[in-house]
Amino acid sequence: MRRSLFMSAIIALSVIAMVVPSVFAGSYDLKEITPAVKQALENRQARYSQLQSLKQKGAVGEDNKGFVADLGRDPQAAAMVNSENRDRRIIYQALVDQNKLGSAGMTEVQKVFAEVQRDKASSGEYIQTPAGEWSRKT
């Protein structure tokens, strides 16, 4: 009797240990739009058209870490890139903190955003592959 109770407890613990992490997977979001996140999103919206224009001119590209890079073809690009990357970092950090992803989570968040930016890039814009090579999207 005691033995079967003991075995049942072990099985129950094992099932809980396997099920609990998968229940919490896949629920990532900005759970709270803090003033800093709100400001970062509004800043990004405000500069979106200008940034797109620089991308189409080949002056700015999307790197493989979820940030934009100044490709040295337009003097306006540097300031735009710094501001955009500052706002992106605020959003990424909020995702990591609010979803308790830890320091290793930032790398994953950056990689996923970089992938989304590559997907969304228009033909002719510069993108950096996961391996680090720059190319124009076809």
Rule CB under 8 A: choose which of 55, 67, 69, 117 binds another protein: 117
Residue nearer to another protein on the CB measure, 72 or 119:
119
Residue 107: phi, psi to the nearest 5? Answer: -60, -45
| Residues 33-72 as x/- pattern, contact with another protein by CB under 8 A | --------xx-xxxxxx--x--------------------
Interactions with another protein, residue window 97-116 (CB under 8 A): 100-102, 104-105, 107-109, 111-113, 115-116
- Which one, of 129, 136, 45, lies nearest residue 88 by Cα? 45
Asked if 13 interacts with another protein (CB under 8 A), we say yes
